[in-house]
Structure 1
Amino acid sequence: MERNERNRLSHDRKPSTEKSPSPDAPALVNWDLAASTAAAMVAPGPKMSAREIREAVADLRAAADTSVAHVHRITGLEAARDLRDSDVLVVDRASWARANSQSFSVLMGPALQHLAETRPEQLEAANTALGGTMTGAQLGAVLAFLSSKVLGQYDPFAALGGVGKPGGRLLLVAPNIITLERELNVEPADFRLWVCLHEQTHRVQFAAAPWLREHMLEQISQLSNGMMDKAQTLSERLGSAVKALTANSAGTGEKDNDGVPRKPADLLSLLQDPQDKERLSHLTAVMSLLEGHANVVMDAVDASIVPSVKTIRQRFNNRGAKRGWIDRFFRQIMGLDAKMRQYSDGARFVRAVTGRVGMEGFNRVWEKAENLPTEAEIHSADLWIARMGL
């Protein structure tokens, strides 16, 4: 979308720019700079007239409304009957980036507060060296890249910072939806409804499990706190890893019981202890569940609802083969490929469970945190079914 038209492609109320962190929260990241950097760097969207923009926004709003009844019918979740505690926003790329800078500030707030309370001298030194400028600019560049990739997103965390309605907000990124429907050469009305089915499912998930937002925030905070606590000894562990790598190369390193050289730890492993790895595994399983469930719902509609659904899914899945190496590189380092695996892993889990015990049995997953599947259970649905006594 051309720059002079982008600002029109949004909801009547764009994501608020009010501060999310508490007044006393450490300012290691300049969140305003992140949002403004992303807005300046976002790639232009498809060329459209003002009339075409208005029609696209209206179509997406209608598709978002229509999809809720289908989500309710497919999932059987009563939460789909009343979603008034959250917003649906049709936004442009810059607005999506701004909204995510707000959400990141909420997600990182507890970890930064923990750092301020446990090692204030390190936080002060980091603030002195960077002043939030470098980190804000770097985050803005990442958000600018991602802003052209995301079709939609349900954000339950912004409300914790006082932004929007208590339940959260669903963001539909209109330029990206339009760009992709043109690239795939599919029927726009069908594609827009298909996308909305996925995103509205996320909205329903958090409405059906109101405890889920706080649970995820607690797990993310604990994981971040643990990794920050270990960061001060990272240089020592990096040194040990380099020595181990050198020794393995020379054939003098440690070996396992079969005589195979032990593989040196990667950077993420160096920042994690067994508890951290367990939390990361748990969050991976939860994200696989959420994404896989939404994919199952969006593909559960038949041709009477989305006439070209099979064509859309086939072309959507095949588009990855056409990406250039630069795009593939950035997707890999930013974890987008891992996210796509979460979609497929989670969808296999949901289909396996519903195939065995039906949707009603599967819906026990939304009752409490203890019912969430583990990463092992995501890959072996029978384990979860047995643990639930189904």
Structure 2
Amino acid sequence: MPFFGDLAKMIGRQGPISWDAARQIAHSIATEGAPEANVDPLARMQLEQLSRVAELQVANATGLEPSPSGAGITIVPVTRTQWVTRTLEDHRPRFEQLARSLGSEGTDPATGAPAAPPAVPDPDDPLGSEAGAWMQQLMGMLQPMTLGMAAGSMVGHLATRAFGQYDLPIPRPPGDEVMVQVPAIDAFAEEWSLGTDDVRLWVCLHEVAHHAVLNVPHVRAEMTRLVEAFVAGFRPDPMGFERALGEIDPADPAGLAAVQRVFSDPEVLLGAAPSPAQDEVRPRLDTLVAALVGWVDHVMDRVGGTLVGSYPQVTEAVRRRRVETSQADRFVERIFGLNLTQSRIDLGSAFVDGVVERAGEEGLGRLWSRPTDLPTPAELEAPGLWLARIDIDDDPTG
């Protein structure tokens, strides 16, 4: 059909993902279609001052250099629209890897061999095998648009709640700039009746602490490798949506809830199926993310408690907001393999607390020292095992 061929050519000019569609949908969701004002110049001036405070305090508390170049951190205040544009561009390689994983050119990340081709339609399909094959071909042609809409939806929903660039604790492109989203920060402060200045400082400390650890070269490399391997592990499942709906009993009173679960599952909507390759990556990725988040929370408690007047109240409000995050807002977490449940966060915090109890801050300082010092999944649950492996006396008194 010429129309579909022309449509496929138009969409395909942007590569494996329609980025125009991604940006339009992300902007629409993030702003709810309303125009945005520029960031207040006074807020820019205040955040410029706070960036120096946050950088100095994090460096003193951790021994890490937050600025990769050594020239100093710059906090860049942005609107939701600006945040969306930058975030789509920063994570573009990961979304394009997802597109390759779900396309015919996908490869198995474990072996490098070509991925298995999509399933052949069942000859007994009531639509007929030719019709089923035609439908799969049509979906393949429209995949760039589908993936663009999905990427835009994920990032747009994330923009409605993100304070900065590390709400997803994974690397951004290296540099000395750290984004903070002023409208989201100020709206959160008003919603929870918190001081705007306190919340802004809290966010600056939180973002700079993430920036410091995620720019340690071997941490950045390992996190990037694990996330990319997880994304590459998805396999095309073009019949997944139909199969998921077919498993719902229309006579079941809980059927409506089941339908809602199907429409809230990004893997089903994208025609993406998990694979054994992801099962191999997930424990290491879960462990690294949990340790990183636990470490950042510990640094925040050390530094923020003395700088932010209402630190306990802000921290509790952020925690409650995290727990209440909807599944729709966690689409992108699942696609990137991030398991940011409260139980995983608590496990990371318990690991860090256990290290400090046994070996003090000096022992914790070894966490990011060398690639071989990163904890294993077993060590995350038993800090003593980690300390023993890296040969640290677990008695902080000597």
Q: TM-score, normalised by structure 1?
A: 0.69
Structure 1 residue 96: Cα displacement: 1.6
Distance in 2 separating the partners of 1:113 and 1:45:
31
Q: Which has the higher helix share?
A: 1
1:310 Cα deviation from its structure 2 partner: 2.2
Q: CA deviation at 1:309?
A: 1.4
Deviation at 1:37, TM superposition (A): 1.7
Matches within 5 A, 1:297-312: 297-301=299-303, 304-312=306-314
Cα distance per residue 1:276-325 (max 9 Å; x no partner): 3231111111111222211111121365422221232234334568x5xx
Q: Give unpaired runs (5+ residues) of structure 2.
A: 1-11, 107-113, 119-135, 248-266, 393-398
Q: Which amino acid aligns with 1:146?
A: L
Select the residue among 328, 333, 339 that pairs with 1:330.
Answer: 328
Q: Please give the alpha-carbon distance, in whole angstroms, between the structure 2 residues aligned to 1:189 and 1:27.
A: 43
CA offset digits 1:92-137 (Å, max 9, x no partner) = 1122222221133212445655762636986x95885215112212
SS at match of 2:83: helix
Q: Corresponding residue for 1:75?
A: 62
- Work out whether 1:221 is the aligned partner of 2:209: no
How far has the Cα of 1:383 moved from its partner? 2.2
Choose the corresponding residue for 1:354, options 347, 353, 356.
356
The aligned counterpart of 1:32 is 20
CA distance in 2, matches of 1:278, 1:120: 18
Matches within 5 A, 1:377-388: 377-388=379-390
- Does the Cα contact within 8 Å between 2:52 and 2:73 map onto a contact in 1? no
Q: Partner residue of 1:272?
A: 275
- Tell me, yes or no, if the aligned pair for 1:45 and 1:176 is still in contact at 8 Å: no
Q: 2-side partners of 1:53 and 1:363: how far apart?
A: 38
Taking only the aligned residue pairs, the percentage that are identical comes to: 22
2:43 is the counterpart of 1:43: no
Residues 129 and 302 of structure 1, relative CA distance in 2, 3 Å threshold:
closer
Normalised by the size of structure 2, how large is the TM-score?
Answer: 0.68
For 2:146 and 2:219, the matched residues in 1 are separated by 33
Residue 177 (structure 1) shift = 0.6
Any residues of structure 2 matched to 1:178-189 within 5 Å, and which? 178-189=186-197
CA contact (8 A) 1:71 1:197 kept: yes
Q: Using a 3 Å threshold, how does the CA distance of structure 1 residues 105 and 149 change in structure 2: closer, same or farther? A: same
Q: Does 1:55 align with 2:37?
A: no
Give per-residue Cα distances to partners, 1:322-349, cap 9 Å, x unaligned: x5xxx63434666599525243332222
SS at match of 1:172: strand
CA contact (8 A) 1:38 1:144 kept: yes
Residue 197 of structure 1 deviates from its aligned partner by 0.9
What CA distance in whole angstroms lies between the structure 2 residues aligned with 1:203 and 1:331?
Answer: 23
Q: Which amino acid counterpart does residue 339 of structure 1 have in structure 2?
A: L
Can you give the 5+ residue segments of structure 1 that lack an aligned partner in the other structure? Answer: 1-23, 160-165, 243-265
Q: Structure 1 residue 215: deviation in Å?
A: 2.2
1:193-244 alpha-carbon deviations (Å, 9 max, x no partner): 111111101111133x21222322222233333333xx46997xx89xx8xx
Q: Does 2:99 correspond to 1:97?
A: no
Paired residue for 1:153? 165
State the 1:33 CA deviation: 2.1
Residue 147 (structure 1) shift? 0.4
Conservation of the 8 A alpha-carbon contact between 1:71 and 1:80: no
Report how many aligned residue pairs link the two structures: 324
Please provide the CA RMSD for this pair. 4.0
Distance 1:202 1:42 in 2: 23
Structure 1 residue 47: Cα displacement: 11
